[in-house]
């Protein structure tokens, strides 16, 4: 018998959940009804036309920011809000910034996450539905250079690649610009121009019945930027992207921060905050009370343990534990909840999951069918102490 | 513009990993060393003893999975590991993998080394070794997560993996 069978695990090797490793884990969001409902409510409202989600979530390491992003993707894909009439096209991006990163680096990451193939396919589809692609693209991008570059994305080989490089914001040589029939590189006019191109791509997505939404994790990386000019250009980029006039490119940004003021300064300047809206800055806090910890753990166990198998095991082996807390005895479960809620800074989902897993490994080492208080007493201080 | 998340290391890969761990001053959540053979690394820049001392000083949970020792040098290393509290030691006789993981509170700072090199002085000073260093950024983060699931959960809970010493940690 292996660990998985020993604890009647439901199609998984351990008690760990991680949507980056197992995409199906995105459906989980344990024990945080208030935050979940608040974010989902904000999301539903954000789609009321003409609108798109613009949100910033923040919290400490292990508070569940990444899980929140993946869960929101799962929500949008599977329970699309009524106000969202188009199919959400959701793209994940772990932001990477260094001391000299500027708006060009951010733009490049966003556009590359989207990918040339996706944008080319949208233009191809548009071409098959329209009488005049040139006019259609000019209406979408409201800019002749962008329309020309977009048209060239349909071309194969060198020209298609050049057009993509143009949209990525690379500096092109004069003869390359000429081949694309454009008069300048995208980055020449600054951050606003790049946002306009991205928003244009968002409108192109809408013409293809899709709504572009970026989920950007690790926004604390903005703090790595040390150059004043680079910071200003990034600030301009986020400010323009947050403008009410952008109704085609949505974003949810996740950042490590214990308070709003702890975030990268460019994200919390007044002009950005007012555009995004105070309500759309959401803290993913630790689980505040013992009751929250209990709910979190019970919901986690209910999902990760195969309930029928566990009930049968409890009965057959006369284990004397409730299926609700299995594989923990009632006393061990309460003890774990108490340990976890002693210090609210440490009552984080990551720590709770780790504690359950380590307790189970410890029981497995001794080939014990259930987790008793002595195991919790040994493991919990290592994690919450 | 993407920063590198993986790097080939052909010059003393294990020493490179250990130095990075030893010299870093960021909060570390776990150190996991998986190697069929382990030595005290005496005479190299970072000895096993100094790694253990750092784990004690910083209260870093430290996991070691190796084979049961058959040679004197391996037994000496095991004796070192047994003498420190925050170390969990396990044996697996089928172990052939060499994986070294340093998991940090800030995931982007985490790193791992996976390759041919054992945790021995020979692998640092004598053998020709090749390894990949993986960093917790971009695609590297997913790889690190998979490696840590494998090392911290899958390998530790295999039937043939035997617990030799439990971890004891001072309250942080």
Task: Please state which of the ranges A29-33, A323-327, A341-345, B157-161 shows the lowest mean pLDDT.
Answer: A341-345
CB contact under 8 A, A105 and B3: no
The distance of Cα A333 from the centroid of its chain, to the nearest Å, equals 31
Instruction: Classify the phi-psi angles of A377: left when phi > 0, otherwise alpha if psi is within -120 to 50, otherwise beta.
Output: alpha
Task: Please state which of the ranges A155-159, A342-346, B91-95, B105-109 shows the lowest mean pLDDT.
Answer: A342-346
**What pLDDT was estimated at residue B1?**
39
Q: Residue B79 is encoded by which pair of tokens? A: 């004796």
What's the residue count for chain A?
385
Q: What is the 3-state secondary structure (H, E, C) of A46-62?
A: HCCCCCCCEEEEEECCC
- Using CA atoms in the order A64, A65, A69, A70, what is the torsion angle rounded to 10 degrees? -30
> Mean pLDDT, chain A, as a whole number?
94
Residues of chain A found within 8 Å of residue B150, distances taken between Cβ atoms: none
Return d(Cα B63, Cα B170) in angstroms, integer: 16
The interface predicted TM-score (ipTM) is: 0.88
**What pLDDT was estimated at residue A343?**
86
* B159 pLDDT more than 90: yes
The distance of Cα A23 from the centroid of its chain, to the nearest Å, equals 12
Enter the DSSP assignment of A322.
Answer: -
**What pLDDT was estimated at residue B2?**
43
Give the residue among A363, A361, A360, A348 at the shortest CA–CA distance from A383: A348
Q: What is the 3-state secondary structure (H, E, C) of chain B?
A: CCCCCEEEECCCHHHHHHHHHHHCCCCEEEEEEECCCECCCCCCCCCHHHHHHHHHHCCCCEEEEECCCCCHHHHHHHHHHHCCCCEEEEECCCCCCCEEEEEECCHHHCEEEEECCCECHHHHHCCCCCEEEEECCCHHHHHHHHHHHHHHHHCCCCCCCEEEECCCCCCC
Q: Does a structural domain hold residue B172? A: no
Return d(Cα B78, Cα A2) in angstroms, integer: 27
Residues of chain A found within 8 Å of residue B107, distances taken between Cβ atoms: 61
A5 inside 8 A of chain B by CB: no
Q: How far is CA B79 from CA B23, B75, B82, in A?
A: 24, 6, 5
Q: Select the residue from B27, B28, B108, B164 to test the A interface by mutation, using most A Cβ atoms within 10 A.
A: B108
Q: Does a structural domain hold residue B65? A: yes
CB contact under 8 A, B169 and A364: no
Phi, psi values for residue B168, rounded to 5°: -125, 135
A68 close to A29: Cβ distance less than 8 angstroms: yes
* A67 pLDDT more than 70: yes
* B171 pLDDT more than 70: no
Q: Does a structural domain hold residue B1? A: no
Q: Does a structural domain hold residue B44? A: yes
Average pLDDT rounded to a whole number, residues A184-201 = 94
Query: Do the bridges between strand B111-115 and strand B131-135 make them parallel or antiparallel, or are there none, so unpaired?
Result: antiparallel
Peptide bond into B36 cis (omega under 30): no
* B169 pLDDT more than 80: no
A38 close to A279: Cβ distance less than 8 angstroms: no
A2 inside 8 A of chain B by CB: yes
- Kindly report the pTM of this predicted structure: 0.90
Residues of chain B found within 8 Å of residue A108, distances taken between Cβ atoms: 1
CB contact under 8 A, A382 and B146: no
B106 close to A94: Cβ distance less than 8 angstroms: no
Residues 21-60 of B with CB under 8 A from A: none
Contacts 24+ apart (CB under 8 A), A382-385: A382/A358, A382/B61, A382/B167, A382/B169, A383/A346, A383/A351, A383/A354, A383/A355, A383/A358, A384/A339, A384/A340, A384/A342, A384/A343, A384/A346, A384/A347, A384/A351, A384/A355, A385/B169, A385/B171, A385/B172
Q: Does a structural domain hold residue B169? A: no
* B3 pLDDT more than 60: no
Residues of chain B found within 8 Å of residue A217, distances taken between Cβ atoms: none
* A164 pLDDT more than 80: yes
Return d(Cα A241, Cα A276) in angstroms, integer: 9
E strand or H helix at A281: strand A281-283
The order of strands in the sheet holding B111-115 is B6-9, B131-135, B111-115, B99-104, B28-34, B62-66, B87-91, B162-165
Cβ partners under 8 Å of residue B11, min gap 6: none
What pLDDT digit, counting tens, does each position of A314-373 carry? Answer: 999 999 999 999 999 999 999 999 999 998 888 999 999 999 999 999 999 999 999 999
Q: Is A244 exposed, middle or buried (0-12, 13-18, 19+ CB in 10 A)?
A: exposed
CB contact under 8 A, A21 and B171: no
Return d(Cα A326, Cα A2) in angstroms, integer: 17
Query: Do the bridges between strand B99-104 and strand A54-59 make them parallel or antiparallel, or are there none, so unpaired?
Result: unpaired
Q: Does a structural domain hold residue B171? A: no
Average pLDDT rounded to a whole number, residues A106-111 = 97
Q: Does a structural domain hold residue B128? A: yes
Range of the domain at B86: 7-164
Total structural domains within chain B:
1
Q: Select the residue from A7, A15, A21 to test the B interface by mutation, using most B Cβ atoms within 10 A.
A: A21
Location of structure tokens 């208030």: A34
- State the CATH number of the domain containing residue B154: 3.30.870.10
A29 close to A284: Cβ distance less than 8 angstroms: no
E strand or H helix at A350: helix A349-365
Return d(Cα A156, Cα A371) in angstroms, integer: 61
Q: Does a structural domain hold residue B2? A: no
Q: How far is CA B143 from CA A25, B110, B112, B135, B148, in A?
A: 17, 11, 9, 9, 9
Q: How far is CA A383 from CA A222, A240, A380, in A?
A: 30, 43, 5
A184 inside 8 A of chain B by CB: no
Cβ partners under 8 Å of residue A240, min gap 6: A191, A192, A195, A196, A246
Location of structure tokens 């923040």: A58
């Amino acid at each position: 018998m292996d660990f998985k069978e020993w604890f009647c695990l439901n199609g998984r090797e351990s008690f760990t959940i991680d949507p980056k490793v197992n995409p199906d884990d995105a459906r989980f969001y344990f024990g945080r009804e208030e935050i979940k409902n608040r974010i989902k409510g904000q999301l539903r409202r954000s789609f009321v036309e003409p609108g798109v989600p613009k949100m910033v979530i923040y919290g400490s390491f292990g508070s569940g920011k990444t899980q929140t992003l993946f869960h929101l993707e799962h929500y949008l894909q599977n329970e699309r809000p009524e106000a969202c009439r188009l199919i959400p096209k959701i793209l994940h991006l772990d932001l990477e910034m260094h001391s000299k990163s500027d708006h060009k680096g951010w733009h490049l990451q966003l556009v590359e996450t989207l990918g040339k193939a996706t944008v080319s396919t949208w233009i191809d589809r548009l071409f098959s539905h329209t009488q005049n692609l040139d006019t259609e693209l000019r209406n979408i991008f409201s800019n002749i250079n962008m329309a020309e570059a977009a048209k060239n994305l349909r071309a194969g080989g060198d020209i298609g690649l050049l057009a993509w490089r143009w949209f990525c914001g690379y500096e092109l040589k004069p003869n390359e610009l000429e081949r694309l029939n454009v008069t300048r590189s995208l980055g020449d006019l600054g951050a606003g121009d790049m946002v306009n191109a991205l928003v244009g791509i968002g409108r192109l997505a809408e013409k293809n019945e899709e709504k572009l939404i970026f989920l950007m994790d690790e926004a604390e990386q903005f703090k790595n930027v040390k150059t004043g000019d680079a910071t200003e250009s990034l600030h301009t980029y986020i400010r323009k992207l947050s403008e009410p006039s952008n109704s085609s490119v949505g974003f949810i940004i996740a950042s490590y921060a214990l308070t709003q003021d702890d975030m990268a300064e460019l994200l919390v300047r007044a002009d950005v905050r007012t555009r995004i809206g105070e309500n759309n800055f959401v803290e993913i806090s630790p689980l505040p009370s013992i009751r929250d910890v209990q709910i979190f753990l019970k919901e986690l166990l209910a999902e990760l343990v195969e309930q029928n198998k566990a009930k049968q095991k409890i009965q057959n082996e006369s284990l004397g534990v409730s299926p609700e807390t299995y594989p923990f005895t009632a006393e061990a479960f309460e003890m774990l909840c108490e340990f976890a809620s002693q210090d609210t800074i440490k009552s984080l989902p990551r720590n709770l999951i780790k504690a359950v897993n380590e307790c189970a490994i410890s029981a497995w080492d001794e080939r014990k069918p259930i987790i008793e208080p002595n195991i919790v007493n040994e493991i919990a201080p290592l994690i919450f102490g | 513009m993407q920063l590198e998340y993986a790097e080939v290391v052909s010059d003393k890969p294990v020493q490179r990993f250990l130095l990075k761990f030893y010299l870093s001053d960021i909060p570390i959540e776990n150190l996991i060393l998986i190697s069929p053979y382990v030595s005290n690394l005496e005479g190299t820049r970072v000895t096993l003893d100094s790694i253990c001392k750092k784990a004690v000083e910083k209260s870093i949970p430290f996991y070691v999975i190796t084979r049961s020792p058959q040679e004197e040098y391996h037994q000496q290393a095991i004796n070192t590991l047994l003498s420190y509290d925050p170390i969990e030691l396990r044996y697996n006789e089928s172990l052939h993998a060499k994986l070294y993981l340093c998991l940090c509170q800030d995931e982007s700072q985490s790193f791992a080394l996976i390759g041919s090199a054992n945790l021995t002085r020979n692998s640092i000073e004598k053998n020709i070794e090749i390894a990949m260093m993986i960093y917790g950024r971009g695609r590297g983060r997913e790889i690190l997560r998979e490696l840590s699931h494998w090392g911290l959960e899958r390998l530790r809970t295999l039937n043939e993996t035997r617990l030799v010493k439990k971890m004891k940690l001072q309250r942080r």
